[in-house]
């Protein structure tokens, strides 16, 4: 299935997904939003930008081209997000411009049944693994895994492009625990059971390999 961005040559090809299933899922989501009084921008103009979307297009920005390696590479490695645990949702958005050029992209994968700090650090190592990962190095981390459930479910890691690669990736890994997870399980048990099947089990040797030859060290040169 091929998804295109209106008025551009940009496209994404999704493999292993039935187009009819996709359309049914989009329709179900639209009806769910409609029940709350919301109308998706694509509903009336599926092949055009809605007037409400146009102000956010911001064509011709210098940082967009400079950070194209990050946005494209992240899309191609979205599957590794499943290593966090049972995936519940993933959203992402464009943050502010970085000094020296480039963009900051923020994603907040929400998941359950993860493995704490090991999980989100493993994700960053996989994203920056030699040979097939992205040229990224972790420059900052705020971990809340040691806090009790309900205080904070979010752990934030910031990674910057190496050397002449302009762009920053901020990953806000959100692990649902305690009462919040219980409510999710009780609200839609069938959906949660299906999400559990999407979790990607990581063999122990992967962690050992990442420890020996994994992501670039934080001391590697980065752009401010």
Structure tokens at 15: 């493999």
For 98, other C-beta atoms within 10 Å of its C-beta total 19
Closest CA to 172 of 89, 101, 70: 89
- 26-51, pLDDT tens digit by residue? 898 899 888 989 888 888 888 888 88
Q: Parallel, antiparallel, or unpaired for β 110-112 and 86-89?
A: antiparallel
Categorize the per-residue pLDDT at 58 as very low, low, confident or very high, splitting at 50, 70 and 90: low
Going 123 to 124 to 125 to 126, the CA torsion angle's sign is positive
pLDDT-above-70 percentage for the chain: 90
Q: Considering only 79-83, 136-140, 159-163, 215-219, which range has the smallest mean pLDDT?
A: 215-219
Alpha carbon of residue 56 to chain centroid: 20
How much is the pTM? 0.76
Residue 215 pLDDT > 50? no
pLDDT band at 192 (very low <50, low <70, confident <90, very high): very high
The pLDDT confidence band at residue 182, using thresholds 50, 70 and 90, is very high
- Higher per-residue confidence, 96 vs 83: 83
Higher per-residue pLDDT: 219 or 190:
190
Q: Residue 168: its pLDDT value, please?
A: 92
């Amino acid at each position: 299935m091929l998804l295109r961005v209106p008025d551009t040559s940009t496209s994404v090809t999704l493999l292993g997904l039935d187009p009819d299933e996709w359309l049914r899922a989009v329709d179900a989501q639209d009806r769910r939003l409609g029940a709350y009084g919301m109308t998706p921008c694509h509903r009336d103009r599926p092949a055009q930008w809605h007037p409400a979307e146009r102000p956010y297009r911001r064509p011709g920005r210098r940082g967009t081209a400079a950070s194209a390696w990050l946005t494209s590479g992240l899309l191609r490695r979205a599957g590794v997000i499943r290593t966090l645990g049972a995936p519940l949702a993933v959203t992402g958005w464009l943050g502010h411009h970085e000094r020296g050029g480039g963009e900051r992209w923020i994603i907040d994968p929400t998941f359950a049944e993860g493995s704490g700090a090991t999980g989100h650090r493993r994700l960053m190592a996989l994203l920056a693994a030699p040979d097939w990962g992205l040229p990224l190095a972790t420059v900052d981390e705020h971990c809340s895994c040691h806090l009790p459930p309900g205080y904070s479910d979010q752990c934030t890691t910031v990674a910057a492009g190496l050397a002449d690669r302009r762009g920053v990736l901020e990953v806000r890994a959100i692990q649902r625990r305690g009462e919040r997870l219980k409510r999710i399980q009780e609200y839609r048990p069938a959906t949660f059971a299906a999400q559990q099947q999407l979790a990607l089990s990581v063999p122990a040797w992967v962690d050992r390999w990442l420890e020996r030859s994994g992501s670039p060290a934080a001391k590697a040169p980065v752009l401010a």
